[in-house]
Structure 1
Amino acid sequence: MLMIHASLRRLGLARSCHGAGGAELLLDVLDAAVGPGGTLMATLGAFYPMDWVNLRPEAERGALLAGSAAFDWRKAPAQPDVGWLGEAFRRRAGTVESDNPSGRFGARGARARWLMADQPWHDYYGPGSPLQKLCESGGRLLRLGASPDTATALHYAEYLAEIPAKRRTRWDYLIAGPEGPEHVWIECLDDAEGIVRLPGEDYFARILKAYLALGRHREGPVGAARAELIDAADLVAFGTKWMERCLR
């Protein structure tokens, strides 16, 4: 079971293969690599045109959303910041998506439906999430030229870390309900700004660099970038201890 983080640009696929074509080429290779008995997973998110509302005070959001088009995250494109690969993964035949507009994942392969099933509505990266399932199933992270702060599994570590006064947030949506548009919200740890404000470099990047320095992963060149293969549970355990030590 592999969770994929990749930069097409650093792999040399964005320009040479026109973005989406490069993503499809990479997915062809990954599908072949894991074979019919393997499973691939990726972060998708969901592009929400009204997401600016979530920058406003919570008390104002219902009125600001009123009259907007109902949001169907099941059909929404992947978040732009996950790049061409996320949208290509989402659209690829056989991909199964989790049912959460804020923390949507995609999976392909033998255990995809199990991995995506029953994701919590609130605290979607915490216990019961696809991230927990990935860790407890011996899953690994495959980072292909990804930036140092890209390691979604560390959001699960944020839930495990015993830290006082973790920052929380709320995401509001207007979705299509059985009786018409419905204002709903999701509450979770602050996975946008961090559970603790820490000056300087993003703490995910700090954790990942410290972990890689231990040499417990495998790495090598791929295309124009570096590939890193990391045990997800080991990284999460390391990240949990790091947070408990450094984020208090």
Structure 2
Amino acid sequence: MSLQPLGLAVSALAEDLRSLGVSAGDVLMVHASLRAIGPVEGGADALLDALDRVVGRDGTLLMILGAEIVHDFVNHLPEAERPALLADAPPFDAVTAPVLPEVGYFAEAFRRRPGTLVNDNPSGRFGARGRHAQDLLQDAPWHDYYGPGSPLERFCRMGGRVLRLGASPDTTTVLHFAEYLADVPEKRRVRRHYVCRGADGPEIRVIECVDDEHGIVDWPGEDYFATILREYRATGRVRQGRVGQAQSELIDGADLVLFGADWMTRHFGPRHY
């Protein structure tokens, strides 16, 4: 009796990626659901092998990682209470901290992959690998880590494309850059406190940014990132296909950001108010 293969091989995934439009030298921001892609022989590592193979030595892969930090709960409490609760907290370690669970197992496999670089921001932690990895992450801003000068802006300036492999429609991280570009009055902002490694030991550091957790304004109904993506798809500027079993998309990052910023300005901006 012959054994059935465990799932898609690297070569089949690579062929699907090429058919979608991924090519050598691409700068890609990847959002992937392994469950949506279906059984893969080798799991997350095989998908990474396929991505590395298709973009080649001149290509670059970028992912948002976030971080699982045991003391992050304090950022949902009043600021005055935070220092006392953080007094004995272990410091955030950018190299070893697991990714946010909601980001997914594939992002954790990406973080652990030899050759992947990570930046040290506990809220805006990215991982990148390939030719332009250091250019994307080096000296990234501490505050407003999705805004001007961020890895997201650098990605757009490099002509980066967003690769969505069965990902949820509300997980298109590049649209956080659009939140900074949109002409919207009184965007909601937050301050977060973390224990980080300092020159003289653990220290509490503060991050200030627009509210990337709950949105820059209150918006009823579905996540507005999902609405923006759906309306952008309707313009016909999204390349679509399947990678494995996953409905997948390849999108020009800068074009999506400009569309998103315009959408937010029209719906949240001065005329809206």
Paired residues for 1:1-248 under 5 Å: 1-13=27-39, 21-248=42-269
Q: Partners in 2 of 1:122 and 1:195 — Cα distance?
A: 16
| Structure 2 spans left out of the alignment, 5+ residues | 1-26
SS at match of 2:104: helix
What is the deviation of 1:67? 1.4
Look up the equivalent residue of 1:116 and give its one-letter code.
Answer: L
Identity of aligned pairs, percent? 60
Give the gaps of 5 or more residues in structure 1.
none
Aligned partner letter, 2:113: R
Which 4+ runs in 1 deviate beyond 4 A? none
Structure 2 letter corresponding to 1:80: P
Deviation at 1:98, TM superposition (A): 1.8
Shift of the alpha carbon at 1:222?
A: 1.6
Q: Return the letter of the residue paired with 2:208.
A: E
Deviation at 1:101, TM superposition (A): 1.2
* 1:140-176 deviation per Cα after TM superposition (whole angstroms, max 9, x unaligned): 0000000110100000000000100100011111122
Once structures 1 and 2 are overlaid, which stretch shifts more, 91-100 or 199-208? 91-100
Render the CA deviation track for 1:197-235: whole Å, top value 9, x for unaligned. 101010000000000111101111121111100000000
State the shift of 1:178 in Å. 1.8
Is the 8 Å Cα contact of residues 135 and 232 (structure 1) preserved in structure 2? yes
Larger radius of gyration: 2
Distance 2:95 2:161 in 1: 26
After superposition, the C-alpha distances for 1:88-129 in whole angstroms (9 at most, x for unaligned) are: 111101111122111011111111111111110000000000
So what's the TM-score if we normalise by structure 2?
A: 0.87
For 2:88 and 2:250, locate their aligned partners in 1 and report how far apart those are by CA, in whole Å.
Answer: 46
Q: Tell me what 2:3 maps to.
A: none
The amino acid that maps onto 2:80 is: A
State the distance in 2 between where 1:100 and 1:161 align: 24
Q: 2:58 is paired with a residue of what secondary structure?
A: coil
Write the distance in 1 (CA, Å) between the matches of 2:159 and 2:197: 37
**After the TM superposition, which of the residue ranges 92-101 and 69-78 deviates more from structure 2?**
69-78
How many residues get paired? 243
